[in-house]
Amino acid sequence: MPKSAKKRKAKAADFAKAKLKLGKGKQLPSNAIDTSFKARCAIALPSQSITLDRAADAPATRRRLTFDDLIVHLKHYSPGTRKDGIAGLRELLNAHPEILEASLTALINATARAIGDEDPGVRKSLLEFFSWIFPRIPIENLIPHATTLLLFATSAQTHIFPEIRVDAIRFLNIYLEYIPAATVAGWNHSGSESGSRILEGYLGILSAGTKFGETGGPMKATSTASVVLTSASKLVVLQSLSTFLRHAVQSSSQTFQDSSSMDTWYLASWFKTREAYTAFDHLFQPRFTHTGSDPLLRKWKAEADSEFDDDFPCRYPLLGPAGSKWTLQELSQTVDSGDDAVNDDNSLFIAHLARTLYSTLVSTFLDCAPAVFSPNGNVDETQAKLIVAVAEITVHLYGAILQNSSKTRDSERHTRASEDLKSILGYMSPYFPFRLEGSRNIQVEHMFQALNLMFCKLTSLVILTAEGASPSRDKRPAHGQGDSKGSLQMHTERVSRYVIKLLKGESLSTSQLGRPLTPATYTALLPTIWSLINNADPRLRDVSSDILLATIEHGSKVPSKSALKSITIEFIARVTLLDMEPQFLGHLNIDANAAQQIAGWVNHLPKCLWELGSTNLSLTEIILRFLIAACRCRSPLADLQTLGLLRSQMIPFFSIMHPTRGQIPGPYSKLPPVSPLRRLVLCLVALIRDDSTLSSAVSFAVLGTEDELYWHNVSNSS
């Protein structure tokens, strides 16, 4: 049957060509999708714009990007572009450093926003950029921008991602290096100051709690996120916290110590009054060798002058009064140091912080100790650095609490801090002294030495606290790790053996040779040496005597021109004079053997003066001040035999009989002609001279100089 007309027409339609009408375009299919769009705002393409009006001489990078272009790149959505923007800034500022001063504000505002960037590559690049740019910015120009830098750093400390929090700590390390005062400002006050927020950030990431409003009770954490840090990340946090606390404690300390004299905080609590300690502390502070003249120095007069009758309240009149005249700085320091309320609040805050960090410090040490003190000699350096960081934090916190004067020694928080410190030492003591067996790793060896020194200092704090505490006080153990007198005695004996080995230059292990002490190491040992010497426990009397003898022997063997000589002479001189100080309340006991050793040490001082000449005027002044003080105080050392040796040994200092050249001047002639040190030497000779040979040597040395008249007057009046 033929197909219908309808079907034939439909089949032909598939191949028919549509006829277009005039003026009509091709029609779109019915199923076509409209892809056109309209934008209500312009699309910015700064790096591709050909219409940008740019100065021809504007500094630019190799990619022809100016400073403004790079600042825009820091806001780009692509992490790669932001990273390239930081690299471009370094390239531009390195080639054109003159841009930095004019564009510093824009630079800080733009880069600080990238501290909390979620891309790790951008944060790493910014860390490198800050480490490079900060040394090139004057500190006075950087401090006004500290608020912006710290704002974004503290914000990153509380970021939801732990890796951003850890990187924020790395940024704080840079701030602590260049702007430490601004970084720790307000650290011990609750509020919105940067230091307080930074400290809360540290404790938050350590999960140690961050509320300091209460003086007791459990800590309250502000973050509900429990972060488990890796060893490397925890090391970054603890090392940074140690640096933060070091700067913070120093900034809040009310002790002002002369930079040219040693810190004698360990002696302060053993004097009847604060004024007596201050006078004794200022005894060896150089006055002549820094300014060239002393405002307390007066010309010699044959008759007593009533104008100056009250100028010498101390026991060392020829050395100059300790407080007869006051400068504006000394007055301000005295007023500040008398602010008991501030000191008490600061001590309370640090004690509360120490209680907060106690469990973190103990747990970290116990976790790391097996990997560090392994008997096979293999040391995990990351774990070792963690233990060092724990020890440093312990020294900063408990040192600030227990180094206070005796007025707070009976307080409850002081006692609690002492018990906590004894507990920490109890965990450390099985491994002391920390030694490295069978290895030559210098870095690990230095870390172990630092650990030993910090253990010694912490032990000295416990000993000094126990000595200063009331004997009737009920000392109850804390945390089940209490320290009895027997265990404290055991710590003391271990520390004394270690200190004696250091002073004698002996090695702790058989595989390594002993090394001489450095000035930093010896200075760090002084509180420990003092706590062992000034010990009232009759069971440790032999220990005290051995430490004193080893200290004197070591001080006698140090070369005169060594950097360590000045520290050893000043310390031994102070110990010697303390035995004759009526205001001293300690337990120093110099027996006949020790007195003989000290006499020998005194007799080697003229040799030091001769060898020093004019190379170390500060040490020369310290030696002269000590010898004058010992003679004026009628020291047992100033007996006939010692004085006789001293007179004979002082002759070469003024003149020497040469076999062929005859009598030639000694080192006295090398002292600066206008220096008061010359007259200080003449005062010493006037006190000890009973020898015509010495007098003639002095007369030869001063002949024709400005000091000739002074020597004539002082020698005739004595």
Q: How many CB atoms lie within 10 A of CB 280?
A: 23
> Which of 226-240, 351-365, 426-440, 614-628 bottoms out in mean pLDDT, i.e. has the lowest?
426-440
Give the residue-averaged pLDDT of 114-136: 94
d(CA 350, CA 353): 5
Q: Of 694, 516, 547, which is closest to residue 606 (Cα–Cα)? A: 694
Which residue did the predictor score with more confidence, 46 or 566? Answer: 566
pLDDT attached to residue 346: 78
Round to whole Å and give the CA distance between 516 and 503: 8
Question: Which residue do the tokens 């002492």 mark?
Answer: 418
Whether the per-residue pLDDT at 294 is higher than 50: the answer is no
- Each residue of 637-663: pLDDT tens digit? 666 677 778 888 888 888 888 777 878
Rounded-to-integer distance, Cα 573 and Cα 581, Å: 12
**Do residues 404 and 464 touch, judged by C-beta distance below 8 A?**
no
The average pLDDT across 571-584 equals 87
Asked if residues 586 and 544 have their Cβ atoms less than 8 Å apart, the reply is no
Label residues 68-103 b or e (16+ Cβ within 10 Å = b): ebbbbbbeeeeeeebbbbbebbbbbbeeeeebbeeb
The structure's pTM equals: 0.78
- pLDDT tens digit sequence for 402-414: 876 444 444 676 7
Rounded-to-integer distance, Cα 473 and Cα 585, Å = 20
Q: Closest Cα to residue 573, out of 546, 542, 608, 544?
A: 608
Distance CA 98, CA 395 (A): 44
Structure tokens at 84: 């390239």
Q: Which amino acid is at 382?
A: T
Give percent of the chain above pLDDT 90. Answer: 27
Q: How far is CA 317 from the centre of its chain?
A: 35
The helix-helix angle for 412-428 and 381-402 (nearest 10°) equals 150
- Give yes or no for residue 307 having a pLDDT over 90: no
Of the candidates 429, 588, 424, the residue with the CA atom closest to the CA atom of residue 493: 429
Residue 704 has pLDDT above 90, yes or no: no
Distance CA 670, CA 667 (A): 5
Is the pLDDT at 696 greater than 70? The verdict is yes
Q: Which is higher by pLDDT, 324 or 498?
A: 498
pLDDT, residue 309, reads 41
Cα dist from 15 to 3, 11, 18, 312, 410, whole Å: 18, 8, 9, 128, 111
- Residue 578 contacts by C-beta under 8 Å, 6 or more apart in sequence? 267, 280, 584, 586, 588
pLDDT digits (tens, 9 = 90+) for 505-530: 877 665 555 678 888 889 989 999 99
pLDDT band at 443 (very low <50, low <70, confident <90, very high): confident
Contact 646, 609 (CB under 8 A): no
What one-character DSSP code corresponds to residue 48?
G
Which residues have C-beta within 8 Å of that of residue 121, sequence separation ≥ 6?
79, 83
For residue 216, name the pLDDT band (cuts at 50, 70, 90). Answer: very low
**Across 9-33, average pLDDT:** 73
Q: What is the mean pLDDT of residues 549-555?
A: 91
Alpha-carbon separation of residue 395 from 132, 293, 408, 485 (angstroms): 32, 39, 19, 22
pLDDT tens-digit readout, 71-101: 999 999 999 999 999 999 999 999 988 998 8
Q: Which residues of 193-226 are buried (b: 16+ CB within 10 A; e: fewer)?
A: bbbbbbbbbbbbbbebbbbbeeeeeebeeebeee
CA 256, CA 604: separation in Å to the nearest integer?
33
- For residues 374 and 161, the model is more confident at 161
Sheet strands (E) in 634-718: 655-658, 662-665
The pLDDT, as a whole number, for residue 568 is: 93
pLDDT for res 468 = 52
- pLDDT-wise least confident of 396-400, 601-605, 663-667: 663-667
| Positive/negative CA dihedral, 362, 365, 366, 367 | positive
Provide the token pair at 715.
């020698």
Q: pLDDT value at position 217?
A: 47
Omega within 30 of 0 (cis) for the link into 433: yes
**CA–CA separation, 134 and 150 (whole Å):** 14
pLDDT recorded at residue 326:
41
SS3 state at 477:
coil
Asked if 133 and 93 touch (Cβ cutoff 8 Å), the reply is yes
Tell me the one-letter amino acid at 14: D
Helix and strand numbers (H, E) in the chain are: 30, 2
How would you write 137-165 as a 3-class SS string? Answer: CCHHHHHHHHHHHHHHHHHHHCCCCHHHH
Q: What is the pLDDT of residues 459-503, one digit of tens each?
A: 988 888 776 543 333 444 444 344 445 577 787 888 888 999 888
Neighbours of 58 (CB within 10 A): 13
Structure tokens given for 61 = 């990078």
Measured in residues, the chain has a length of 718
> Rounded to whole angstroms, what are the CA distances from 331 to 94, 327, 595, 616?
47, 6, 39, 30
Q: pLDDT category, 287, cuts 50, 70, 90?
A: low
545 Cβ contact partners less than 8 Å away, ≥ 6 residues apart = 589, 591, 593, 594
Q: Is it the case that residue 260 has pLDDT exceeding 90?
A: no
Give me the chain's average pLDDT, please: 79
